[in-house]
Every structure is written in structure tokens, then in C-alpha cells.
Chains A and B, each alone.
Chain A
Amino acid sequence: MAKKARKKDEGAPLTRSHELWLIACAALTLAPHAVHAPLWLSLATGGMLAWRGLIWWRRRQLPPRWLLALLVLAGSVAVLATYRHFFGKDPGVALLILFLALKLMESRGVRDALAALFLCYFLLLTHFLYTQSIEVAGVTIAALVVITATLAGLAHAGRPASANLRLSSLMLVQALPFMLVLFLLFPRVQGPLWGLPMDAYSGLTGLSDTMSPGSISELSLSGAIAFRVKFEGKPPPHNMLYWRGPVLRHFDGRNWRPGRQTVSTELPYAAKGPDIAYAVTLEPHNKAWLFALEMPALLPPDAVISSDYQLLSRTLVRARLRYELRSHPGLVPGTEESTETLKASLQLPAGINPRARALAAEWRRQLGDDEAVIRQMLGHFRREFFVYTLTPPPLGKNGIDEFLFETRRGFCEHYAAAFVFMMRAAGIPARVVTGYQGGEQNPVDGYFIVRQSDAHAWAEVWLANKGWVRIDPTAAIAPSRIEAGLAAAVPEGEPVPFLVRSDLSWLRELRFRWEAMNNSWNQWVLGYNPQRQRELLSRLGMREPDWQSMTAALAVLSGLLMLALTAWALRRRIRLDPALRAWNRLSCKMAGIGLARYAWEGPADYARRVAEARPELAMEMERVAALYISLRYDRRKSRRDGLMDGKNEDGKLLQEMNQMIAGLKIHAAR
């Protein structure tokens, strides 16, 4: 008895094909979560799905309830052990993943299956809390089709799978216009809604604010995109593309760190000379830095500029950010630099690198002139067979000495550090500038892509009558790095990022296409922020679009869409035989006294039913029905091929029918 009651509670039992579909739904929903979920969870989930599949395959019994309860407990404890709490995005999603896998283990009836499917829908949504890439969108849409098809299959047992898939695809296609309207008009808020600060921004790579030997060459191994640039007009040559990032002044013998700096919304120099206009789409890096071509001529909104000419955002860049800029590539700023800054730019740690210091002091004595010392240093790099390599040997305490006089192998940070050290030792104010150099134009959409592998370090020296002059010692060793990029500069066989290598042209072609697609996705889908929404809406003629008017427009457009779809669905009803239209009119009239025709009711039956209910209408009803029957079912009609223009016999019949219906006097029942 109790068993019977439970059975009723679970709804109809699942068929084998339902079960298979359900397992497929769960697998499709859960698989992409493996990218970010802890390993033990992915293994446990995969194991449970495989177990469920085995049960299906071998037609075994589902596990008993006590075992499931035990698994729930164990899983919850594991989640707690991993995250230390149950709140927030990651533990919440982990629990849901676990529960979906477990729900499959006890899904016997349609009701269980429905619960599991709705959980699938929700878990699909949570993918977007982690990434919003094209790949995830594609997988989500595929899973959506399958889950909806499963739902359709549950409603109609025994319908073939292809029909379910067709139905679910059709439903999704019908939902497309609504999706577009909602996308364009739904009032937007800045930043991710689900931004939970605790764990939201871990795992972003990029430049750091310290530089030590090896830090940039390590970054150079990553093919990840740092930012994209769209130039207005012709892009400048490769050797002018210095994207300025953190400026490092303080040297402790091994690490370079930024010095003290002030920020301002005013440019600390006068902008002059020819300029370049461009827009940067910066990938999130969880720092405040905005990269700009040297030297920026105006500030983007919500940005400031530091006293050493670095653009900074007021908030950390945690979402993809797009800003427009102008830069003067020829500008040399800082003729009037404060003595404090100049003093800081001569700082050297005491007691290390004696040989470098001695050489610098000797040059100073011999040459005297600042610029001659700089030339001497760059010439030294060239003369002494220095090698530009991604895999330099490790350096010890007197790193600059070892590099300059022994190993002579280094990456850009070695050259920049050694150069700045020597300049300071020779009494010339100098500093290290980090950032990116170069970039690669995607021929598909014309965007420049700057990758982590384009990370670079160069030097700036202050000359009394000129200001801060950029000197790139790497250009002296490996000019091709500056002219053509990393791949051309390092010796063959070095571990250049796979995607940056220049010898796999078909792969590059493919990568360009894929990145161009990703970029349009970023620009048009993910980059559709409140500002762009406002721009689009005002271009469409909505003045002052606020959330109220957007909501109103949303409602109106959705309503119109619904109407259009309904009209499309009903379009067959519009082309009606005039006799049928008159007949329907009669039914509408009769509906007033509760005698509307049933959709399936034949004319003679209907006339009889009305006549029985309302004998006073019997004669008219009989006549109208006879007219209708002869118009619609008699052979004469087909003989004349439906000509009904009021001249032939059918026209007369129709006229009579219309007149009779119009003249029909119906009184409410007494």
C-alpha cells in the first residue's frame, strides 16, 4: 500500500530511452564544469555518470536509498573541506553538480526526471559565472536543445527522438527574436552581477609590478591575449609600438619595483606633434594599469596618469575594458623634472656589481658626455657578442656583473636592467619601463593583437635638454625583436609559444580567424555595456534611454513579436472560403445564446442541435445549413471551381446565406 502511494507520487515510470536521454543531458551539462571544478568533484561526477550508464546498460537496479544518503553526506563534507564554507559561487555550484549526479541515481519516475532537467537548466546558467566565451555559449546551446528535447520526450512517450530534437530546435529558433530583444533592451548594469570578490578574479595572468631576471621571459611563453587594438587609419610601423605599462625605479640588487608616484587627471606634459587615434580592448588582468602607446595625449574616462606617465584606471580592470585614445609617438616629455625624481632615478644598492660600476665610472671619465656614454653602452652590447635568448642561464648575487662580463645571454629584462644600472652608475638618471612591444595584425578583421608573449622591458634616460628619452637596449642586440616580433628574434629551437611561431602558416591562418571571431564576440556580445546600450538606443531614436523606457520598449516589442508569431501560426485561418466565413459568423452569433458550433460539428448536426434547443429558429437554421451544405459539399461547387463573384448560382446562394444570417433575430433565452 505504501509502495503504491509512493509510486503514484513519482509519476509515470521512465522508459529506457528517457533514462538514456537524461544521462546524456546531465553529461552535457556537467562536462564543461570540469574546467573549473576541483579534480575530485569532476572524478566523482564522472564516476557516478558512468555508474548510472552501467546500470542502464545492464538493466540493473538503482542503488538503495541509504547508499545515496551516505553519498550526499560524503559529498557535502568534501565540498566543505574544499571551500571551508557553503556560501558563494564555487561551493554552491559544486554542491549543485554533486546533487545533479546523485539525482540521476534515484530518478525512477517522470517527476524525478523533471527535477533533474530543471537542475540541468540552472547548471547551464552557472557556466557563465566562470566564462562567457564562444565555446561555452556553443556548448550551452547544444545542451539546451538536448534538455528541451528530453523534456518534450517526457511529455510524449514513444515519439521518435528526431521529432523531439526538431521540436526543441524549433522552439529555440522561435525564442531567438525574444532573446535579441531582451539582449538589446534589458536594462544593463556595469560589471558582473555575480562578482563575488573572494574568488572571482583569481587566475588572471599579465605583467606584474616587479621585474627580476626571468620574469618577462617566463611571461613570454604565454600566447594569451593581453589586449587588442584597432587603429583609426593606417597603423604605425612595428618599431613604434611601445605600449607603456608600469615604470620601475627602485632596484634592490635583484628586483625592480615602482617608486613613489603621484597621479593626476591632467597630463604632466604638453601634447604636441602628429598623433595616432586608436581604441584598446583590454583583457581583464586585475590591475589598474591601462596600456597606451607612448605618449598618451588624452585620458579615457575614469582614468588618471601617474607622474611617470603611466595610464591608470581608477578601479582594477576585472572585466574586459574598451577605451579610446590618442597618442603622440614622437613626444619626449619631462624637460623640467623634479630633483627628487631625478635623485630617485640614480638610486643603486650599495656593495654589489663592482665590475659594472667600475666600467661605468671609467666610461664617464673617458667620454664625459651623457649621450656618448649611452652610445658606448649600446655599442658594448653589440661588440661583445651578447645573445638574445628566452633561456638565459641563472644569475647570482652580482647579477649585473655576471650578465655583462660572463654569461652575456639574456632576455629583454636583462638588457634593460643592465643598461639602467650602468647609466645610473655613470650618473645618468634612468629607469626601467615595462609593457608590451609590437603586436600582430589579424588580417581577418584588422585588429592588432598584443599577447603576453609581446611583454617587453626597455629603458628611459633623462637628458638635461631633452627630457626622458626612450632607449631600448634590446634593439641593439636583436633589432628584429623590435622590427618583427619575438619569433623572428630568438634563435631557432627556443620554446616560443606555439601560436606565435611563424613557420606554421596554416595554423596561424586558422588562429587569426578564430581570434577575429572571438574579438567580434567580445566587441558585440560581451562588450555590450550600459554605455553601448545607450549609444545604440539613442541612435535608434530613443532620447534619454532610462530603465523605465527601456522596460516599456521591451514589453511593447515582446508583445509585437508574440502577435507576429501568433499571426504566423494562425495564417492558415485567414484564407477561408466565403461560405465557411459566413458559417463561422453564424456560429459567432449563436454563441451569444450559448449555441456556438463545436469545431468538429458537421452542418446538419449543428442545425439539428440548434433547432432542438431553439425551435423558433428551426426553419432558418435548416435553410442556412442547406445553403451552406450545397455551397461547401455539393458537386456544383467543384464543377465551377469556386467562382463566387455574385453573378453565378453559387454567388446567389452565398448572398442568400449572408442575408439570412444577417437577418437572423436571436433573442436571449427567456
Chain B
Amino acid sequence: MANSTPHPAIHQVIHQAGRVVLGKERQIRLALACLLARGHLLIEDLPGVGKTILAHVLARLLGLNFHRIQFTSDMLPADIIGVSIFDRGTGAFQFHPGPIFAQMVLVDEVNRATPKTQSALLEAMEEHQVTTEGETRPLPEPFFVIATQNPSHQIGTFPLPESQLDRFLMRIELGYPDHAAERELLAGSDRRDMIATLTPCMEPGDMVELQSSLAQVHASDALIAYVQALAEHTRRAPEYETGLSPRAALALLRAARAWALLDERDMVLPEDVQAVLPAVASHRLHPAGGASGASAQEMAAALIGAVPLP
């Protein structure tokens, strides 16, 4: 197709990650697209389907320094952000940064912590900086949070409120591996050992460069009209309680641009929008009447089918 500016390394990432996280290329691509679009990712699924592995693999391959925080119900904001401790040697308070100070932060089971702790994390995600004791400290660039959460009907969880779900650019589900992938997984070597053998394909600077090249991906009037038509449909149609906000429409367009970039294109096609729609829109839409039962995929498919291309 037209003149593209592929970054060979990014395909290397997809390929390598696919070797460890089996049969989940689509989710790997979505996660990368989310990263390219400077968004944060929420993975919602049952324990044990590979959420942590995926985050770990991506951090490793992208050459980003990686911290993992396991959220618990007794966690306090300082446990994430860090604390100042009086250093007797220098006679001054010394800030000890918390685990949030990393390029890629994996927050496991984000819905186990209390709302207070959750909101400290989400504020950092939004602002790319943290403020403690009157001092504002920037977080490293790129800064990328992958949060995992268990389905909220499980006991001992504080479900994220809608306004905070909105901070995540995408929400994806991993799902069980298919038959062949599971066989390979069972037959293959231990995944944690494999992560240790992975070598980074990129440097942090490459990622920042790629992120800034996103603006070069062209979205034509016809395509913007399509994104708008999708958003307007959700506001008009009776099957949704509330429609997509303008912020959600912007997120959809940004994610579609990233998807096009992964596809080595310098323009966005309706297919890109449709590819990212389930991940971008499903946690922002609520079916009317409180009747939920349709999965994110089904809801997105219904939305796509209802809106003709302009």
C-alpha cells in the first residue's frame, strides 16, 4: 500500500511475544496499540489465563524497566507512590520512590485495593506525575500501566467506578487458549523461564519516537465521519444507557491510528476502527435497563452492524 514507515522492531515484538503468550496475537497487538496511543490497558479475566505473563513479556521485549504491584485491600497510596524518610547521615528527608516509578507498571488485581489507593494510581496514570509532600515528581517516559482485574462479581473486590474505567484506553479479555495453543503450552517449557531468555527488541527511546509518529497517521473526513457516526449512534440508540463521550470518541480515533500504524499504514481505515472498537468502547458503554449479558465482543459487533459506513 501507500508509503509506510514501519518500524521493523515492533513486528519483532509481536512475533517474540507470540511465542510465549500462545494464540493471543490479537490481544498482543491491542496491547501494543494501546501503548503506542499512550494509553493504559486494563486486562479483565479469570486468574491464570496469562495476564501477568503478557505484561511481563511486553515489558521485557520493549526494553522498558518493569515494576509489578500486587494490590491488596490493606494497601495505602504511599505503598505505590513512595515515602520520604529522614536520613540521619544528611540530616534531611530522603524520598524513596515507590513501585510506580517505572516505565511499565503491572498492577495486579487492581480491584482488590480500596478506592483511595485506586484513585492514587489512576491519578498518576492520568497526570504522568505524582505529588507527595508538596513536591511534584514526573514519572518516566514512556509510562505505561497494565492493570489486571478479576471479574467484579468475585468476592473481595472494589469494582472500579465508571469514571475511573474511562482512564483506561482499552479493556481487553484474554480468554482461555484454544485447543492447539493449550496443548503447546502444556508440552512446552515453563513460561517464566522463557521470559528470562527474551532479549529486548527496542530501546525506550524508540517507543517514544513511535508514539510521536502516531500524529502522522492520516484520518480522512470520511473516517472521522464514521467515528462520529458510531458515537452518535450510541447516544441515540435506546439499547445504551449512556452513549460514548467525546473523550471516548477521541480515544477510539487514537487507538485506530495506532492500529493502522501496527499495520504499516499511514492512514486509518474503517477496519482499524472496527478492530479496536470492542476494546475501546465496551467498558464505556452500558446496556440500557441494566441488562448485561452480552459480551464486549457481541456488543461491539452489534454496534458495528448498526452503523453504515458514511
Contact = CB atoms under 8 A, between A and B. Distances in A.
Interface of A: 156-159, 577, 580, 598-605, 626, 629-630, 632-635, 637-638
B277 to A, nearest CB: 11
By Cβ-Cβ distance, the 3 closest A-B pairs, closest first, are A599-B308, A602-B270, A635-B218
A635 B304 CA distance: 24
Contact of A157 (B218, B223, B288, B309): B288
Nearest to B310: A580
B274 A602 contact: yes
Interface string B283-310: 0000011000000000000001111110
A347 B112 CA distance: 113
Contacts of A159: 238
B238 A605 contact: no
Interface in B242-277: 266-271, 274
B56 to A, nearest CB: 33
A633 B267 contact: yes
Contacts of B308: 599-600
Contact of B289 (A158, A580, A603, A605): A158
B133 interface: no
Contacts of A633: 218, 220, 222-223, 267-269
Contacts of A626: 1
Nearest to A603: B269
Contacts of B74: none
A602 B275 CA distance: 11
B178 interface: no
B2 A577 contact: no
Given A600-B308, A602-B269, A633-B222, 19 more contacts: A156-B238, A157-B238, A157-B288, A600-B304, A600-B309, A602-B271, A602-B309, A603-B271, A605-B271, A629-B269, A630-B2, A633-B218, A633-B220, A633-B269, A634-B218, A635-B218, A635-B220, A637-B220, A638-B221
A603 B266 contact: no
Contacts of A157: 238, 288-289
A629 B223 CA distance: 11
A609 to B, nearest CB: 12
Nearest to B230: A600
Contacts of B238: 156-159
26 contacts: A157-B288, A158-B238, A158-B289, A600-B274, A600-B307, A600-B308, A600-B309, A601-B309, A602-B269, A602-B274, A604-B269, A605-B271, A629-B269, A632-B220, A633-B218, A633-B220, A633-B223, A633-B269, A634-B220, A634-B267, A635-B218, A635-B220, A635-B266, A635-B267, A638-B218, A638-B221
A535 B198 CA distance: 94
A638 B220 contact: yes
B266 A599 contact: no
Interface residues of B, number: 24
A150 to B, nearest CB: 15
Contacts of A638: 218, 220-221
Contacts of A599: 308-309
Contacts of A600: 274, 304-309
Nearest to B304: A600
Nearest to B273: A602
A446 to B, nearest CB: 52
A632 B266 contact: no
Secondary structure dominating the interface of B = mixed
B163 to A, nearest CB: 21
B241 interface: yes
B220 A603 contact: no
User: Which among A158, A601, A632, A633 has the highest number of chain B CB atoms within 10 Å?
Assistant: A633
Contacts of A598: 305
A605 B270 CA distance: 9
A591 to B, nearest CB: 16
A630 B269 CA distance: 10
User: Which among B269, B274, B308 has the highest number of chain A CB atoms within 10 Å?
Assistant: B269
B271 A632 contact: no
A626 B271 CA distance: 14
A439 B304 CA distance: 72
Nearest to B229: A600
A194 to B, nearest CB: 40
A604 B271 contact: yes
User: Which among A159, A626, A634 has the highest number of chain B CB atoms within 10 Å?
Assistant: A634
Contacts of A630: 2
Contacts of A158: 238, 241, 288-289
Contacts of B1: 626, 629
Given A156-B238, A158-B241, A577 B222 contact: yes
A634 B220 CA distance: 6
A158 B268 CA distance: 35
B229 to A, nearest CB: 10
A602 B227 CA distance: 13
Nearest to A155: B238
B268 to A, nearest CB: 7
Nearest to A579: B222
Contacts of B269: 602-604, 629, 633
Contacts of A602: 269-271, 274, 309
Interface string B66-80: 000000000000000
User: Which among B222, B274, B288, B308 has the highest number of chain A CB atoms within 10 Å?
Assistant: B222
A604 B2 CA distance: 14
Interface in B1-38: 1-2
Contacts of B268: 633
Nearest to A632: B222
Contacts of A601: 309
A605 B269 CA distance: 10
A224 to B, nearest CB: 51
B306 to A, nearest CB: 8
Nearest to A639: B218
A141 B131 CA distance: 63
A424 to B, nearest CB: 84
Nearest to A597: B309
Interface in B200-224: 218, 220-223
Contacts of B267: 629, 633-635
A644 to B, nearest CB: 14
Contacts of A632: 220, 222
Contacts of A603: 269-271
A598 B305 CA distance: 9
A158 B308 CA distance: 25
B215 to A, nearest CB: 12
Interface string B226-239: 00000000000010
A529 to B, nearest CB: 46
A159 B304 CA distance: 22
Contacts of A156: 238
Contacts of B221: 638
Nearest to A626: B1
B278 to A, nearest CB: 14
A71 B242 CA distance: 44
A592 B269 CA distance: 26
User: Which among A156, A158, A159, A603 has the highest number of chain B CB atoms within 10 Å?
Assistant: A158
A405 to B, nearest CB: 86
B155 to A, nearest CB: 30
B184 to A, nearest CB: 27
A85 B39 CA distance: 78
Nearest to A157: B289
B304 to A, nearest CB: 5
Contacts of A635: 218, 220, 266-267
A157 B1 CA distance: 47
A626 B1 CA distance: 8
Contacts of B271: 602-605
Nearest to A630: B2
B40 to A, nearest CB: 27
B264 to A, nearest CB: 13
A632 B222 CA distance: 7
Contacts of A634: 2, 218, 220, 267
User: Which among B218, B267, B306, B309 has the highest number of chain A CB atoms within 10 Å?
Assistant: B309
A614 to B, nearest CB: 20
